[in-house]
Structure 1
Amino acid sequence: MNPVIDTLSQHRSIRRFTGQAVSEEQVETIVRAAMAQANWINGQQVTVVEVLDAQDKAEVAAAAGDQKHVKEAPVLLIFCMDFRRAKLAADKQGVELGVVEDIEAVLIGSTDVGLAMGNAITAAESMGLGIVPIGGIRRDPGRVISLLELPEFVFPIAGLVIGYPDEDPGLKPRLPLQAVYHKGRYNPSYENLLEEYDAQIAEYTRTRSNGAASSRWTERTAMFYSEGYLPYAQKVTPALKGQGFALGAKRAEP
Structure 2
Amino acid sequence: MNETLKLLKNRRSYRDFDENYVLPQADLQAILDAARQAPSWMNGQFYSIIVLQDEDLRKQLVEWNPGNPHMLKSSAFLIFVADLYRTDRVSTAKETAYQIEDTVEPLLIATTDAALALENAVIAVESLGLGSVVVGSIRKHGQEICQLLNLPEKTMPLFGLSIGKPTVEMRVKPRLPEAAVVHFESYRPYVYDLIEQYDQTMEDFGEAREKKRWSQKFADYFAAEPTMVTDQLLKMQRFLK
TM-score using structure 1 length? 0.89
Distance 1:223 1:84, change over 3 A: same
Give deviations 1:141-183, integer Å, cap 9, x for gaps.
Answer: 0011111110111110000000011111201110011110001
Q: The residue matched to 1:12 in structure 2 has which SS?
A: coil
Structure showing the higher helix proportion among its residues: 1
TM alignment of 1:152-163, pairs within 5 A:
152-163=153-164
| Structure 1 counterpart of 2:14, one-letter code | I
Percent identity for Structure 1 against Structure 2: 30
- 1:100/1:244 contact within 8 Å kept: yes
Superposition TM-score, scaled by structure 2 size: 0.94
Contact 2:179 2:190 in 1 (8 A): no
Cα distance in 1 for partners of 2:102, 2:238 equals 8
Alignment partner of 1:242 out of 227, 236, 241: 236
CA contact (8 A) 1:203 1:214 kept: no
Q: Assess if the C-alpha contact under 8 Å between 2:10 and 2:172 holds in 1.
A: yes
Q: Which amino acid aligns with 2:153?
A: E
Aligned counterpart, 1:101 = 102
Q: After alignment, is 151-160 or 86-95 more displaced?
A: 86-95
Q: Note the residue ranges of structure 2 that are not aligned, 5 or more in a row.
A: none
Correspondence list, 1:71-110, <5 A: 71-110=72-111
Task: From 221, 225, 232, give the equivalent of 2:218.
Answer: 221
In the alignment, the residues of structure 2 paired with residue 175 and residue 190 of structure 1 have an alpha-carbon distance, to the nearest angstrom, of 13
Residue aligning to 1:182? 183
Structure 1 residues 112 and 66: alpha-carbon distance in aligned structure 2, compared to 1, 3 A threshold: same
| RMSD, matched Cα | 1.7
**Does 2:15 match 1:15?**
yes
* Paired AA for residue 223 in structure 1: D
Local SS of the residue matching 1:20: coil
Tell me if the contact between 1:202 and 1:214 (Cα under 8 Å) persists in the aligned partners: no
